[in-house]
Amino acid sequence: MFGQLIMEGLAIGICYALFGIAVVIIYKTSEVVNFAQGEMAMLSTFVAFQILTIYQWPFWMAFIGTMIFAVLLGIFIEFAFLRPAKDPSLLGLIVITLGAEMLLMGVAGWKWGAEQKEFSLPFSFSNTHELFKGVIINDWTIAVFITAAFLMIFLFLFFRYTKLGVAMRATQQNQHAARIMGIRVERVFSFAWGFSSMIGAIAAMFFAARSTVDPAFMMEPFLRAFAAAVLGGLMSIPGVVIGGAILGLLENMFGYFWPEWKPIVAFLVIIVVLCIRPSGLFAKHYVKKV
């Protein structure tokens, strides 16, 4: 029983973490918590649904098409909504992302309607394998683990060894200095939003395959992913993965033993972590910008 609980908890936790990485990438560069993250991912998933179900393209072509759309959507949101704001306060930026969230939800409702849609991936949740006695793993979970591992390695190499990755870190640490050093900060922001939107879309497709697609389907996963990011540290990519795993395990344990409490575990985590360790469990230090 515990083995399966841990397996299920890790699977959903890593899925939260995948989406949490999308939140962290934007926060790492611009220190904006993007409340439209869930709806950006939702819209990209609807595009995948359209290509797969309506146009009937093969999955991998639909996947590539969706990734291109997600990147362009991220760049567009940053360019059209965030960039025109003149000397925005942090609160102002958050309000802008909230507005974008409403807009994207409206667009999806208008184009695809409010009714749920079925979405499936080639990695079926019903293809199961017995890892140990009583511990079952399915193709969906394997795909989530592999994707998260691949992404972690890629991001580690990207932020450490590529010019763009270093530029993103520099922009986060000091925008003004980065600009003086010749970094085109606006391009860095565009890249971060596009890249984050793409990762968010991958995570959303995993969530959609386990439930259904509708204009509101990413609201709840966004809150969980945000909680995972706060728990691990909004600046730390390994932190968000560990945070997601801890959250998934915690939620599953509560869901099994005290189901009434399960829905509020994530929010309790946010409150407790913000009170005790505002920078999260795995961020190195907490810097207050003045």
Partner 1 sequence: MKKQSLSVLSFIIAMSFFILTTSVNAAPGFDDKEIRIAAWGPQTGPAAPWGSVARGPAVLASLINEEGGIHGRKLKHFVRDDMYNPAQTKVVVKELVEKQGIFAFVCGTGSAGGLAVKDYLAENKVIWVGPATSIKEYVFPVNPYLFSIYPLYEDEGSILAKYAVENLNIKEIGVIYQNDPYGKNGLDGVRQRLDKLGIKAVAEIPVESTEKDLSSHILKLKNSGAKAVLMWVNPTSGVILLKTAATIGYKPQWIASNTLSDFALMHKISGGLWEGVITGAFMLSPDSTDARIVRYRNAIKKYAPEERPGVFFMAGMMFTEPLIDALKRAGKKLTTEAALKALNSTKNFQGIGPRVNWTAAQHQGTDSVQIWRCGPGGSTILVQDWTVNELAIWKKK
Binding-site ranges for partner 1 (CB under 8 A): 1, 4-5, 8-9, 11-12, 105, 109, 114-118, 120, 125-126, 128, 136, 138, 140-141, 207, 210-212, 214-217, 219-221, 248, 251-256, 259-260, 262-263
Question: Residue 73 Cβ, how far from partner 1 at the closest point, in Å?
Answer: 21
Q: Which is nearer to partner 1, 78 or 251 (CB)?
A: 251
User: DSSP labels for 253-275?
Assistant: HHHHH-GGGHHHHHHHHHHHHHH
CB of residue 272 vs partner 1: minimum separation in angstroms? 20
**Residue type (1 letter), 242:** I
What are the E-state strand segments in the chain?
A: 128-132, 135-138
| DSSP assignment letter at 135 | E
**Which CB atom, from 101 or from 251, has the smaller least distance to partner 1?**
251
Q: Which letter, b or e, does each residue of 245-272 get, where b requires 16 or more Cβ atoms within 10 Å of its Cβ?
A: bbbbbbbbbbbeeeeeebeebbeebbee
The amino acid occupying position 268 is L
Nearer to partner 1, 141 or 171 (CB): 141
Q: How far is the CB of 281 from partner 1 (least distance, A)?
A: 22
Q: Which is nearer to partner 1, 79 or 125 (CB)?
A: 125
Residue placing its CB nearer to partner 1 in the complex, 164 or 249? 249
The residue among 49 and 189 lying less far from partner 1, judged by its C-beta, is 49
Residue 251 Cβ vs partner 1, minimum distance, rounded to whole Å = 7
Pairwise CA distance, residues 266 & 144, whole Å: 21
Q: Smallest gap, in angstroms, from Cβ of residue 246 to partner 1?
A: 15
φ, ψ of residue 138 in degrees (nearest 5): -120, 170
Tell me how far apart the alpha carbons of residues 10 and 18 are, in angstroms, rounded to a whole number: 12
Residue type, 163: K
Do 218 and 203 meet the contact criterion of CB atoms below 8 Å apart? Answer: no
CB of 218 to partner 1, least distance (A): 9
From the CB of 152, what's the least distance to partner 1, in Å? 22
Of the pair 87, 115, the CB lying nearest partner 1 is at 115
Cα 271 to Cα 23, 58, 166, 231, 278: the distances in Å are 18, 44, 32, 10, 9
Compute the distance between CA of residue 80 and CA of residue 237 in angstroms, rounded to an integer: 27
